[in-house]
Amino acid sequence: MGASRVLAFDVGLHFIRYSLFVDGRQGMPGTIATPVDSAESFYRALAAVADAQRDPIDGITVSFPGFIDTVRQRAITAGPLPALYGRTIGDELKRHLDRPVPVWMENDANCAAMAEYLSGNARNLRDFVLVTVDTGIGGAVFLDGKIHRGRDWRAGEFGMMMVNRGSGYLSLHDYASTTPLTRDYAEAFGVPEEAVVAGSLLQRLDDPQVQRIVERWADQLATGIFNVITVLDPECVLLGGAISREVTLLPLVREALDRIPYWRDFRTPIKRCRHSGNAGLIGAYYAFMTEVMNETVA
């Protein structure tokens, strides 16, 4: 019989969201601050939530930033949490629980893709990619009905693609994340970069100068998406990240792709992720059930 009470965590830089899944149904999410001073503080914080559950839980699953060795349950890197680099988080967390249970940890972008496969805009698809657009470019690759992690757990690092060698060793991060978008706006309008909200620029396309800045950025993003499609030939590309919630993003990206002369030969559906805030929790639950319990989740 499969696990019926699974506690999922979604680890972010400032906050950790958590939710209990009972027989596949997600409970009300909660939030705690992310401890960043030490690994011990991190483990104690997660263990406190687990130990406080009213009824015993059957497992814990964690959506986590960085390169994640899922075989050893080890964080090769841990994104913005340096205290957790190189730690075997699965085993170490178990030792802090009053009642040890199975623990599974998965990369956060992979979790987002799994959430879309389970109950989002990738249902019934066997091959798709997810591209996350934020202050960096990330993503995940789903091939033949399962997540593709790569030899060294680095598959989906789309932001590291070199898209303009003539300007030095610059990557897609440097051209298509929200960072160059806010920087270009700040330079053009003489305002502090930290005061610019990237998503708000997509709501000001009636201003010709803003439109030029945004369209130039969209062309760079479309270039990265096009490159991914030419390599993997997926059934669909999903866009995630906070800026993907802006309704103007998809039309901008589609128009930018139409400006690529070869797009007609590789035309692929481009959609927005259905899940946003709960993607990490849902995907982490899916990962636990399929990887630990070897169950089919539908």
Tell me what pLDDT residue 3 has: 57
Residues 102 and 212 in one domain: no
Tell me what pLDDT residue 298 has: 66
Residues 20 and 158 in one domain: no
Q: Which residue carries 């706006």 as its tokens? A: 185
Q: Could you tell me the CA-to-CA distances from 127 to 139, 149, 238 in Å, in that order? A: 14, 14, 11
Contact between residue 18 and residue 32 where contact means Cβ atoms under 8 Å apart? yes
Instruction: Confirm whether 119 is domain-assigned.
Output: no
CA nearest neighbour of 212 among 193, 189, 194, 231: 189
Instruction: Classify burial at 127, counting beta carbons within 10 Å of its beta carbon; exposed 0-12, middle 13-18, buried 19 or more.
Output: middle
Instruction: Confirm whether 75 is domain-assigned.
Output: yes
Residues 213 and 268 in one domain: yes
Q: Could you tell me the CA-to-CA distances from 147 to 19, 156, 177, 218 in Å, in that order? A: 23, 10, 24, 27
Number of domains in the chain: 2
Q: Identify the domain containing residue 49 by its residue range.
A: 5-111+277-292
Instruction: Confirm whether 100 is domain-assigned.
Output: yes
Instruction: Confirm whether 207 is domain-assigned.
Output: yes
Contact between residue 272 and residue 250 where contact means Cβ atoms under 8 Å apart? yes
Instruction: Confirm whether 118 is domain-assigned.
Output: no
CA nearest neighbour of 128 among 24, 240, 49: 240
Edge-to-edge strand ranges of the sheet holding 236-240: 146-148, 137-143, 128-133, 236-240, 270-272
Residues 197 and 174 in one domain: yes
Residues 137 and 247 in one domain: yes
What CATH number does residue 251 fall under?
3.30.420.40
Q: Could you tell me the CA-to-CA distances from 112 to 115, 241, 246, 286 in Å, in that order? A: 5, 10, 18, 10
Instruction: Confirm whether 159 is domain-assigned.
Output: yes
Question: What is the chain's pLDDT, residue by residue, as a tens digit (298 residues)?
Answer: 455 899 999 999 899 999 999 999 999 999 999 999 999 999 999 999 999 999 999 999 999 999 999 999 999 999 889 999 999 999 999 999 999 999 999 999 999 999 999 999 999 999 999 999 999 999 999 999 999 999 999 999 999 999 887 778 899 999 999 999 999 999 999 999 999 999 999 999 999 999 999 999 999 999 999 999 999 999 999 999 989 999 999 999 999 999 999 999 999 999 999 998 899 999 999 999 999 988 777 6
pTM (two decimals): 0.92
Residues 54 and 184 in one domain: no
CA nearest neighbour of 87 among 43, 45, 46: 43
Residues 267 and 281 in one domain: no
Residues 200 and 85 in one domain: no
Instruction: Confirm whether 131 is domain-assigned.
Output: yes
Instruction: Confirm whether 229 is domain-assigned.
Output: yes
Q: Which residue carries 């978008």 as its tokens? A: 181
Residues 152 and 254 in one domain: yes
**Torsion angles phi and psi, residue 193, rounded to 5:** -60, -35
